[in-house]
Structure 1
């Protein structure tokens, strides 16, 4: 099957002329050709899609996401992170059912696909059984999205030789035509160490397992408030080290790490992150929603740190929209530095695509529009009432386009969103899914004591 995308503003590394109008050919599961508009042959293609008036990008890569958080939209209240974790997150996560996980996984996958996200890191906060993982990953196979499933490792796993993590890796990694990959969650932030849900042995052993399997690891790092009473600053003062220094001193900080949030880097943290090649997963709307502070992204980039983007999960900020993260990243940095162009527009796109692919060790395969790369592609309409007229495609995309403006989305060459409509599921199925998700959310909220009983 060969498909020609013709006439759009194509964002391809090293080929800025394609923004003036370019063509792209998908053959099978990969990108076969790129060229200026009208230069590629139509003789042997099976379908031509007119992308004039649209911007054509690599599929967006969400490097920090919690799929089941769809159930907590609006339940968090106006409280700081530490209180929100204790009063909202923990009561909900302790009462999740297998069916809850299955419905949430499908809804989150479709929501992200509808917004042009083709890959996400599903960072688990719960230990998961094989049955629970089947509930999470079955819908991934069904929807067609890619997922980098991050399996939790806990201190007690050291006594079993990480048997659970190994079982999950062997069972799921590479399944769904390669669209499911497995990495590990090694929580290393001071809060988790203080709670007894992290240990030095767990981190060093879990990291060695990740190196053996050549996969990624992810952790919440340097987040929360800077309170001396209950926040991150308290633990830094008590332990005498930052989260990043902790990983560095253990000798495990390397390019496998996705450091989620990293809102409050201190001391020599940025130098250590840059030298290690690890990636910060920046989630600006989530951090703003909890009043956690503004991550110093410009300073990170200036310091040579790789920064990718993520949504965190809609229990925090009510959105899975990666376009919001792109826009918020630039606007908050502009505000922080009091300058209107703190981060280059092209760099913002790279953060949401290529840098995310590098974070999950999929560079050379995902994150770019180039021959030989997987045909994970998102096409966004720039001719909407809220976006047009457009003089500068990248500026329009970053500042005016919304996730729902995605017209076409491909994963592995499969056309999963065609002119704004899903190809694997129909409208009735989505309507029924939303109803089921609403029922599950209400029941879970009641079990957790966050909603009144019937």
Structure 2
């Protein structure tokens, strides 16, 4: 089937003229042509006038089951939130909780124009857990890059489990499901016994063998001498990036989530390794974590992508919010109204995310031959219009709910703002179940009231 998206502002690197109006032709699962197209035969024509057409957003750091913790944790700083909120909830999850959360989170992200997400696990998963997470996600049509946890406690069993997960799921759903590994390396996790040098080296070796990504929380939390990241830096005499560099594993496979507090030569090490920082600005602000020096990182040659972290932290999966927060916070820190150029900022939410999961040749830009992962955002709204600069309007005034059409591999999953695979009654029932499960989970974890 050939689908023509016509008349919208089209975001293509090095083609600013297309922001004045352009077209994208999709043939089957691939992008067949981009530009100002005339007389192109198409089975379906979608008028995108008044809209911004861009690659589907790529969320490089997300925890799907966090939907159940929205609003819990109150005013806790990160370190207390981890021990008093996250861990009790994590230990009380059921397989059915994971199944429902996966579907709701995937639909939520698709509705906001996110076509790819890295689901970074903080909990150990069995084969049954992985089926509960990945099967419903695949059925929604989203791309999921699943981060399988490896832990040091039963390390040999975890290596076998990680290998089995990769062999079972990597490449499923026509390649929309991919599997990488979570190797927690930040000082907090080492202190809690959930990381070790042996585990990281062995897990990284497996990632190299499978040619996949590695995700890890790095240099985050508060900069407290009593319980925060600084405490562990002073005790160990090294930073998280220095640790990874010293044991010989820091390379371009790593997605370094947060990285709020790079110190000493950290930025040089990250840049030289080609690792990607996954920046989650509203999450970091919600827990009093600080402001990641994104502008300085970019100036230092570090690749930075964008993530949402999960709604238990900041109550949102909206990637546009993250783009806006990223730019405004860097503007404020640097007293610069153009701290991150809009074109690069949007690339951080698209192309850089694709590169982080080692899929830059597959999606992330609107190029002929790439997968038709496309999001069309309506800018003709009361809260966004009138439009002078579509990129500025998108970043500063649009919302995730403005996604009008969303495609993954040419499959139109959102059309005119509505799901094509499920109806409103189905969504309402999902949300009712999610509410019931969230409250029951909070009670089991001792966090209700």
Pairwise TM-score range, normalised by the shorter structure: over 0.9
TM-score normalised by structure 2 residue count: 0.99
Q: Tell me the equivalent position of 2:361.
A: 364
Task: Tell whether 2:413 aligns with 1:419.
Answer: no
For residues 269-327 of structure 1, give each alpha carbon's deviation from its aligned partner in whole angstroms, at most 9, with x where no partner exists: 00000000000000000000011000000000000000000000000000000000000
For residues 4-45 of structure 1, give each alpha carbon's deviation from its aligned partner in whole angstroms, at most 9, with x where no partner exists: 000100001222211110011001111000112xx3323x31
2:127 to 117, 130, 134: 130
CA distance in structure 1 between the aligned counterparts of 2:226 and 2:386, rounded to whole angstroms: 51
SS of the residue corresponding to residue 174 of structure 2 reads coil
CA distance in structure 1 between the aligned counterparts of 2:307 and 2:19, rounded to whole angstroms: 25
CA distance in structure 1 between the aligned counterparts of 2:442 and 2:296, rounded to whole angstroms: 40
SS of the residue corresponding to residue 177 of structure 1 reads helix
Within 5 A, what are the aligned runs for 1:166-177? Answer: 166-177=163-174
1:202 to 199, 207, 223: 199
Q: Tell me the equivalent position of 1:355.
A: 352
Task: Tell whether 2:12 aligns with 1:15.
Answer: no
Return the offset for 1:157: 4.5
Return the offset for 1:108: 0.2
Q: Tell me the equivalent position of 1:87.
A: 84
1:57 to 54, 57, 66: 54
Contact (CA 8 Å) 1:172, 1:181: kept in 2 or not? yes
Contact (CA 8 Å) 2:138, 2:144: kept in 1 or not? no
Contact (CA 8 Å) 1:105, 1:139: kept in 2 or not? yes
Q: Tell me the equivalent position of 1:188.
A: 185
Q: Tell me the equivalent position of 2:291.
A: 294
Within 5 A, what are the aligned runs for 1:435-454? Answer: 435-452=432-449
CA distance 1:161–1:318, shift in 2 (3 Å): closer
Q: Tell me the equivalent position of 1:108.
A: 105
Q: Tell me the equivalent position of 2:387.
A: 390
Q: Tell me the equivalent position of 1:274.
A: 271
Return the offset for 1:66: 0.1
Using the TM superposition, name which of 190-199 and 2-11 deviates more: 190-199
For residues 32-90 of structure 1, give each alpha carbon's deviation from its aligned partner in whole angstroms, at most 9, with x where no partner exists: 00112xx3323x31000000100000000000000000000001110100001111101
SS of the residue corresponding to residue 361 of structure 2 reads coil
CA distance in structure 2 between the aligned counterparts of 1:41 and 1:213, rounded to whole angstroms: 45
Contact (CA 8 Å) 1:23, 1:40: kept in 2 or not? no
- Structure 1 gaps of 5+ residues are none
Contact (CA 8 Å) 2:147, 2:182: kept in 1 or not? yes
- Structure 2 gaps of 5+ residues are none
Contact (CA 8 Å) 1:183, 1:217: kept in 2 or not? yes
Return the offset for 1:430: 0.3
Task: Tell whether 2:162 aligns with 1:148.
Answer: no
2:95 to 94, 98, 105: 98
Q: Tell me the equivalent position of 2:118.
A: 121
Contact (CA 8 Å) 1:157, 1:202: kept in 2 or not? no
Q: Tell me the equivalent position of 2:39.
A: 41
Task: Tell whether 2:310 aligns with 1:313.
Answer: yes
Contact (CA 8 Å) 1:406, 1:420: kept in 2 or not? yes
For residues 348-389 of structure 1, give each alpha carbon's deviation from its aligned partner in whole angstroms, at most 9, with x where no partner exists: 100000000000000111100000010000000010000000
Contact (CA 8 Å) 2:115, 2:408: kept in 1 or not? yes
CA distance in structure 1 between the aligned counterparts of 2:76 and 2:34, rounded to whole angstroms: 49
Q: Tell me the equivalent position of 2:256.
A: 259
Count of matched residue pairs: 449
CA distance 1:413–1:157, shift in 2 (3 Å): farther
Return the offset for 1:145: 0.4
Contact (CA 8 Å) 2:62, 2:120: kept in 1 or not? yes
Contact (CA 8 Å) 2:218, 2:259: kept in 1 or not? yes
Return the offset for 1:160: 3.8
CA distance in structure 1 between the aligned counterparts of 2:247 and 2:203, rounded to whole angstroms: 12
Contact (CA 8 Å) 1:157, 1:163: kept in 2 or not? no
CA distance in structure 2 between the aligned counterparts of 1:14 and 1:201, rounded to whole angstroms: 45
Q: Tell me the equivalent position of 1:27.
A: 27
Contact (CA 8 Å) 2:239, 2:263: kept in 1 or not? yes
Q: Tell me the equivalent position of 2:375.
A: 378
CA distance in structure 1 between the aligned counterparts of 2:96 and 2:436, rounded to whole angstroms: 11
Return the offset for 1:161: 7.4
TM-score normalised by structure 1 residue count: 0.98
Runs of 4+ with deviation above 3 angstroms: none
SS of the residue corresponding to residue 155 of structure 1 reads coil
